[in-house]
Amino acid sequence: MSPVFFRVDMFKTPQLIALLEYNPITHILNLVRAPLLNGVLPSPVDFVYVVGCIIILSILAIWHMRRVERTLIYYL
């Protein structure tokens, strides 16, 4: 069974709920889960969290690429 079909209320302990809130994959899955399971749009928090992660990871990738650009070997 795909994690898309797991409801958040299945996780009862506060530790698991806190872990879900800080996991970026949970917010990505909520973008798919909310329309499929509940028939509603995902929350704005999910959109902001996912877009924020994309921006931060893109900045880190660009920074790292520029840092190792001279030593990078391209194989054809």
Query: pLDDT, tens digit, for every residue of 16-74?
Result: 777 777 788 888 888 988 898 888 999 999 999 999 999 999 999 999 999 998 898 88
* Residue 10 token pair: 């299945």
Q: For residue 67, which phi and psi values (nearest 5 degrees)?
A: -70, -40
Domain containing residue 32: 3-71
Residue 37 domain flag? yes
- How many CA atoms, within 13 angstroms, populate the side-chain half-sphere of residue 67? 6
Residue 21 domain flag? yes
Domain total of the chain: 1
Please choose, from the candidates 31, 33, 25, the residue with its C-alpha nearest in 3D space to the C-alpha of residue 9.
Answer: 33
Q: 2 pLDDT exceeds 60? A: no
**In whole angstroms, what is the distance from residue 38 CA to residue 32 CA?**
10
